[in-house]
Amino acid sequence: MAETVKYKTKITLKHVSGKWLSHFYNGPSDFFPTLRDGNKTEVEFYLASSQKTEGSVNNGATIVIKCLEGGMSSYVWMGAFSDSRYVYYHEQKEDKTSWVISKEGDGDIRFGDTVTLKNVHYKDEYGFEPVVDGGSSDPYQLLYQTALDKDAMKFIVHPA
């Protein structure tokens, strides 16, 4: 059986499409998480209510997701907001940067599990939108909010 995911452990997230949560896109006013074929970004899970740093991540827990990539100042918490269709990094904002993590079945979250991330503030489903990266050799997609794709925020948890 695979090891349980602990709070404040460096992990990577692979979208069910096969792309990895990757380097941020620096937009006009915010930093946006991307999905790419390579280049994985490390993140950590914290229990939203207490910034818990010990113990296993439980199925159904409300967490915050901290990006460990440099260059974003204090905008390191993945969030969703009803005034923007894009998921982006921000300073911590209570339920707007809080996510319920769940998987099929019972028990703690383990490496190799497929998990769904559901934002606490924005009640809709989430998806991703193809975006051309200005001729880059590393095209990416931005995560965005949509009710059309039930697998949009499903990721497989991997050790960093």
What gap in Å lies between CA 142 and CA 87, rounded to an integer? 8
Mean pLDDT of the chain: 81
State pLDDT tens for residues 33-64.
888 888 899 999 988 876 566 899 999 999 99
- Spell out the domain ranges in the chain: 11-159
What gap in Å lies between CA 43 and CA 102, rounded to an integer? 17
- Dihedrals φ, ψ of 97, to 5°? -110, 20
Residue with tokens 């996510």: 99
Strand partners, 88: 79
At residue 133, does pLDDT exceed 70?
no
State pLDDT tens for residues 71-100.
888 888 888 776 666 677 777 777 788 889
Quick one: DSSP state of residue 94?
A: G
Alpha carbon 93 to its chain centroid, in Å, reads 15
The structure's pTM equals 0.85
What gap in Å lies between CA 159 and CA 110, rounded to an integer? 10
Task: Look up the CATH number of domain 11-159.
Answer: 2.80.10.50
